[in-house]
Structure 1
């Protein structure tokens, strides 16, 4: 009875642990993904997802989310949705629609309200303070407005060999109203095929979407590569190609899980993630780019975790 999950960033850990427990008790992969991501969306100190997410240039929290069922290829997604408590749940609901399964802006918010999803202002007092501080810094120090773009992505495999993937993000901090990145785009920010595996991305969406990397990782796993080999082969050569041809590259981090419960990671920055399976309790790990197109993965340290907790909860001047 194999089941497993992997999720992006330290913020995935608590939700992933709940999703794993759900599958341990007979739950399915789709429920596990939704449960795990809702946990992240609801926690106000994770400033790049859901409640407490950082707003756009006008001070509005616009969120992107997607869900994909690996058994059926059903996809649902929202982009630029606002004032809705759990975008991942809206995305999953939309995945059951054959038509109109990807909605944006006011249309996505209207659909959510009409289908009984909870309305909620997602802008916390803390996030507003961060936004106001950034506006001052931009005006006084001529800094770039753009900072922060961490997506939570979750991939799950349940005991019945069904797989699912989901994403959720408030997107690029201080983005222009209406901007969306890769997180809601199938093949770019996520992809899943229960006969092979799934992948999810986080980082600068404008660059990640140039490579269709999640689809490519799943395709490579389908040729027989392990998730780690597929991540390395898809991500690092593309980063080099993009740097050469486009001139610059933003942050890239991708995770993958196959239908055997094996996982892989590739990144061009220091990147934390959480993973677990039926034999190994969920844990947080650190990945860094290694030499010659490989990834170095190490256990997270208590010192790092303690510093992280202090950082995300530090007072805002």
Structure 2
């Protein structure tokens, strides 16, 4: 290269660097990877009361962990929701048994399964995380721990749920219903003003399940997984399929590899479809959120949605699905 052309080229490059520096120095300039969409609360299904509760707390400066616990407690107290908490549908023997887990930004987790007589299993799960060296307590041990920590024992079987169970006993047909009552397990992810993420998942499980059955909801990595460096994911639907794929952990690992929350959810669902020839008979849905507050969701069948609270606005968004409506 001639000396004159070299000087011209170098000068142009210098001008480019200078211009780029000026742009990046502009306080209004934000590269896409620096864009943040939080505080934000997101949950499976149209649980806007739950995300509103969590979201309002987040905008008051509450931590992601406190917000996510209080958010899902809204549905645990909702007697009209027969798939979560108090008033949940019983197993085939008439027992209301609850499962829940919670994860904090530090990667700690707590979980309870097959818990009877306690309306807020998510709060018991948090106590397990914070007050014991364990991750999961089940059955009588979980109940004993809850009572020792001041939780109130109560009958969780409502008259409405008992009536529906007795009607089911006439035929005893065990067949999970896709998108039952258009709601199911509540899994929630919260990203607070500090950019820290926490998650929770709580359910009464499949209606009229076998006595002792536990699904994916209280299983860390299946029903819920949070990695504060990457993001989080939570699942709903047929727990057995999610457990066998370690679905929520898979979604987060796919995000770690560079996939967007949407791409990660789609890949996780497609893997379940590929491993289950009967996928047409059950529903699985995932939601995911990365550290920027970007959200993705995907499911097998249409009908799944997710609730979101962001900047004072509460919304419900229909999820894309593998099988079109």
Q: Which consecutive unaligned segments of at least 5 residues does structure 1 have? A: 297-317
Per the alignment, in what secondary structure is the counterpart of residue 209 of structure 1?
Answer: helix
Q: Report Cα offsets for 1:215-249 as digits up to 9, x if no partner.
A: 1111111122211111112222x1332124x7876
Output the CA distance in 2 between the equivalents of 1:249 and 1:28.
Answer: 39
TM-aligned CA deviation for residue 63 of structure 1 = 0.5
Q: Does 1:66 pair with 2:97?
A: no
Contact 1:29 1:162 (C-alpha < 8 Å) held by counterparts? yes
Q: Report how many residues are paired.
A: 284
1:92 to 115, 126, 129: 126
RMSD: 2.0
Q: Does 1:241 pair with 2:274?
A: yes
Q: Which consecutive unaligned segments of at least 5 residues does structure 2 have? A: 1-35
TM-aligned CA deviation for residue 133 of structure 1 = 1.1
Larger Rg: 2
Per the alignment, in what secondary structure is the counterpart of residue 137 of structure 1?
Answer: coil
TM-aligned CA deviation for residue 58 of structure 1 = 1.0
Note the 1:234-273 alignment, pairs <5 A.
234-236=268-270, 238-244=271-277, 250-269=282-301, 270-273=303-306
Output the CA distance in 1 between the equivalents of 2:144 and 2:175.
Answer: 30
Output the CA distance in 1 between the equivalents of 2:98 and 2:220.
Answer: 16
Q: Report Cα offsets for 1:258-285 as digits up to 9, x if no partner.
A: 111110001012212201323x612112
Contact 1:207 1:250 (C-alpha < 8 Å) held by counterparts? no
TM-aligned CA deviation for residue 79 of structure 1 = 0.4
Output the CA distance in 2 between the equivalents of 1:123 and 1:249.
Answer: 28
Output the CA distance in 2 between the equivalents of 1:198 and 1:93.
Answer: 21
Moved over 3 A (4+): 145-149, 246-249
2:319 — aligned with what? 287
1:113 — aligned with what? 147
TM-score (norm 2): 0.83
Contact 1:202 1:253 (C-alpha < 8 Å) held by counterparts? yes
Output the CA distance in 2 between the equivalents of 1:51 and 1:59.
Answer: 14
TM-aligned CA deviation for residue 119 of structure 1 = 1.7
